[in-house]
Chain A
Amino acid sequence: MIPAPFAYRRARSLGEAFDALGEPGALAIAGGQALVAQLKRRAIRPRCLVDIGGLELGAIEAGEESVRIGALTTWAEIGRSPAIRRGLAPLAEAAAVQGDRQVRNRATIGGALALADPASDVWASALALDLSVATESRSGRRTVSADQLMLGPGETVLDPGELIVSVHTPKLGAGSGAAYRSIRDPASHYPLVGVAARVTTTRGEPCDVRIGVTALGRVPFRLTDVEAAVARGGSRLRDAAGEALGRVEPVPHATIDSDYRRHLGAVTCERAVLAAIASARGGAAGDD
Chain B
Amino acid sequence: MAQDLERAGGGGLVASATTFTAVELTVNGRPHVVQVEPRALLVHVLREQLALTGTKIGCDSGRCGACTVHLAGRAVKSCTLLAVQADGAEITTIEGVGARHELDRLQRAFVEEHALQCGYCTPGMIMSALELVADGEPLSDEEIASGLSGNLCRCTGYASIVRAVRRALAQGS
Contacts and interface: CB of A to CB of B under 8 A. Distances in A.
Interface in A41-55: 47, 49, 51, 53
A39 interface: yes
A151 interface: no
* Tier of interface size on chain A: 20 to 34
B75 A32 contact: no
Contacts of A47: 17
Interface string A1-45: 111111111111000100000000000010011001101100000
Given A12-B12, A101-B128, A189-B149, A51 B85 contact: yes
B39 A101 contact: no
Contact of A37 (B62, B131, B150): B62
A76 B134 CA distance: 15
Interface residues of B, number: 40
Contacts of A189: 149
A36 B81 contact: yes
Nearest to B67: A102
A103 B12 CA distance: 25
B161 to A, nearest CB: 14
B74 A3 contact: no
B58 interface: no
A100 B10 CA distance: 34
A29 B65 CA distance: 21
A1 B60 contact: yes
Interface string B1-27: 000000000111111111101000000
10 contacts: A6-B39, A36-B41, A51-B84, A51-B85, A101-B147, A102-B75, A103-B80, A105-B74, A105-B75, A106-B80
Interface of A: 1-12, 16, 29, 32-33, 36-37, 39-40, 47, 49, 51, 53, 76, 99-103, 105-106, 189
Given A8-B13, A33-B62, 8 more contacts: A8-B14, A8-B84, A33-B80, A36-B62, A76-B74, A101-B147, A102-B65, A189-B149
